[in-house]
Amino acid sequence: MVDLTTDLGFMKLQNPVLAASGTFGYGLEYEPFLDLNALGGIVVKGLYFGPREGNPPPRLAETAGGLINAIGLQGVGVEKFAGEILPQLRKFWTAILVNVCGSNDEEYIKVIEYLDRQEGIVAYELNISCPNVEQNGVCPALDSDRTFSLVQLAKQSSRRPVVVKLSPNVTDIAEIAQAAEEAGADGLSLINTILAMAVDIETRRPKLANVFGGLSGPAIKPIALRMVYQVASAVDIPVIGMGGIGSGADALEFLIAGARAVEVGTANFIDPTAMVKIVREVEDFCRRNDLRKISEIIGTLKLWPSKKGG
Amino acid sequence: MPKDPAAKIIRNEEWGDYHLFRIESAAVTPGSQPGQFLMVRVNDSIYPLLRRPLSIHARERTILEIFFKVTGQGTALLAQRKEGQELDILGPLGKGFAWDAGLKGQAVLLVGGGRGIAPLYFLAQELRASGVRVKVLYGGRSLPDLALRQKFEKSGLDVACSTDDGTHGFRGVVTELLQEEIKKNIPAALYACGPDPMMKKTAEIAGRKKIPAQFSLESMMGCGFGACWGCVKRIRKGDAGAWRKICEDGPVFSAEEIVWEEEN
């Protein structure tokens, strides 16, 4: 028996595999396919205070090993979530995190204050990195000062732990990560999608009505892994890694690189039972390698001799 | 469990770019309704990454059929799959066509354009079993686009065809054939599936004659079961309209619900 329990300090999970926000709806969409109780956690789709209309279609473009989306955070808002969805999610023992959005500081705080009055949420994932809301993919996570002030404000307002979701669309992600840590973030999750585009050569139109979107899927995994390694090496708070994870081996790469847990996103679309498979594959790997606890593998990357102490 | 990673392809029938698969799946077949669809994984690789949404063309005990046209790399790879191989499918998904007992004994028209004919065979069979008098209008650009013409005829359904180039049946688009048809008889209901311009025109005709009409919409989909919010269309549900999911709220919508966007 392998002990998969994962302790991030501010939250304990039964296993290190969580569903990534924006790819798992509000969780219940997956109930026909799998037992939600088998998951380490669910980060539900980003919530603004009110319902949000989202971007016009087309919202999706498929690329080699990847998916570009520009959904624009269409969603039901906190009231409907708390009134209709959260009561159903509370029946599961899986950790529920809510991805918190805002079009300005005040809205982030309003969302947090509203959700703070609801039971059944373990932590917030502060979404400061959605590329599909403002022009040209602009978001708070592109700037360390903006990240610092927003995270500080969120922490002051929240009674719950705050995980900050970072953008890969920056020059130095470790610098943004450190700003979030200094501002009091309890943990970091990365990466959000990579700003991208695709063109239909017949019509010469961008494949997305929004022109730009966020790239996810297997295509982004190496970039995500590099960034998770950089961030995990630069901060002391727990890092949750994501980006193109579709197998146990993918998840293990992130754990070895320093992530304490992982989120699975696009893979859920292709196989709605993907997370159950990933947990099983991680467990099998541990058993084969005589690891009694999943925690034994976290951050165990062995550098080549030429890189040691360098 | 609406998932079968090992459904079996028992037949891959081909007419040029058009393919009909017969698929054995005891897990997915039961309870499937006309207008519902499958999400089909065309192969085991990450290229293409996403499943392809394909409507259910026919149902027979534990056997489903899908009918599709090779329109891109995903369907091209799917078309190469062989009889005897396993196919990974999710379904039945979405909300299909609706009809009530009041339609018994009445005449309805089914209007299909090209590969949009796919769900209308299943619908025709079920309507006929409910005692509804069904006539199918089947349009294509040219004779090779009417791949299922003989299948419809053999099943004893009343079928009228149109081709844009006049190689078979009525010369012109299927909505012109529809206009001719309703000069003779006003159907009690209209069901349509095909390219957007065809369905939009069908909706206009139905609206003018006050014929209740339902449309099966098509979209690229990320997941097919409501999680990704990628396949939206402007739909009214007693409101001014919102981006609603084709996969979950549809793919079949009534004429009043659909806000047809202007092409530009």
On chain A, the residues whose CB falls within 8 A of the CB of B90 are 33, 272
Does A175 reside within a domain? yes
Interface of B with A in 190-229 (CB under 8 A): 219-223, 225-229
Query: Among partner residues A62, A66, A269, which is closest to B223 by beta-carbon distance?
Result: A269
Note the CATH number of domain B101-216: 3.40.50.80
**Which residues of chain B have a CB within 8 Å of the CB of A59?**
229-232
The percent of residues in chain A predicted with pLDDT above 70, rounded, is: 99
Which residues in B lie closer than 8 A to residue A193 (C-beta atoms)? none
Q: Per the CB < 8 Å rule, is B232 touching A74?
A: yes
Q: Report CB contact under 8 Å: B223, A24.
A: no
A32·B242 Cβ contact <8 A: no
How many Å apart are CA B120 and CA B110, to the nearest integer?
7
| A20 is a domain residue | yes
CB within 8 Å: B49 and A67: yes
Least trusted range by pLDDT, from A64-78, A101-115, A131-145, B234-248: A131-145
- Per the CB < 8 Å rule, is A67 touching B50? yes
Answer whether residue A134 shows pLDDT above 80.
no
* Contacts A268 to B, Cβ<8 Å: 223, 227
Using a 10 angstrom Cβ sphere, with 0-12 exposed, 13-18 middle and 19 or more buried, the burial of residue A60 is: buried
| φ, ψ at B134 (rounded to 5°) | -110, 130
pLDDT attached to residue B215: 98
The model's pTM is 0.95
Euclidean distance between CA atoms A121 and B143, whole angstroms: 59
By three-state DSSP, how is residue B154 classified?
A: helix
Which of A95-104, A126-135, A168-177, A214-223 is predicted least confidently?
Answer: A126-135
Is the residue at A151 inside a domain? yes
Query: Could you tell me the CA-to-CA distances from B57 to A82, B21, B119, B151 in Å, in that order?
Result: 40, 9, 5, 12
Question: What is the distance between the alpha carbons of residues A72 and A63, in angstroms, rounded to a whole number?
Answer: 19
Interchain contact A222–B (C-beta under 8 A): no
CATH number, position A242: 3.20.20.70
Tell the CATH topology of B3-93: Elongation Factor Tu (Ef-tu); domain 3 (2.40.30)
What's the confidence (pLDDT) of residue A136? 76
pLDDT in tens, chain B (264 residues): 589 999 999 999 999 999 999 999 999 999 899 999 999 999 999 999 999 999 999 999 999 999 999 999 999 999 999 999 999 999 999 999 999 999 999 999 999 999 999 999 999 999 999 999 999 999 999 999 999 999 999 999 999 999 999 999 999 999 999 999 999 999 999 999 999 999 999 999 999 999 999 999 999 999 999 999 999 999 999 888 899 999 999 999 999 999 987 654
Q: How confident is the model at residue A307 (pLDDT cuts 50, 70, 90)?
A: confident
User: pLDDT over 90 for what percent of chain A?
Assistant: 94
Tell whether A241 is covered by a domain: yes
Does position A19 have pLDDT exceeding 70, yes or no? yes
Let me know if residue A1 belongs to a domain: no
Give residue limits of the domains in chain B.
Answer: 3-93, 101-216
**B107-128 pLDDT per residue, tens:** 999 999 999 999 999 999 999 9
Residues of A with a catalytic annotation lie at 130
**CA closest to A22 among chain B residues:** B228
DSSP A123-190: EEEEE---TTSSGGG--GGG-HHHHHHHHHHHHHH-SS-EEEEPPS-SS-HHHHHHHHHHTT-SEEEE
Q: State the Cα–Cα distance between residues B218 and B54, nearest whole angstrom.
A: 9
- Domain hosting residue A18, numbered range: 6-307
A47-53 mean pLDDT: 95
- What integer is the mean pLDDT of A158-166? 98
Closest to B222 (Cβ–Cβ): which among A60, A74, A246?
A60
Question: Looking at residues A187-216, what average pLDDT do you find?
Answer: 97
- Is the minimum CB–CB distance between B136 and chain A shorter than 8 Å? no
The answer to whether residue B105 neighbours chain A at the CB level (below 8 Å) is no
Please give the tally of structural domains in chain A. Answer: 1
ipTM of the complex: 0.94
Q: Which residues of A fall within a CB distance of 8 Å from B223?
A: 268-269, 272
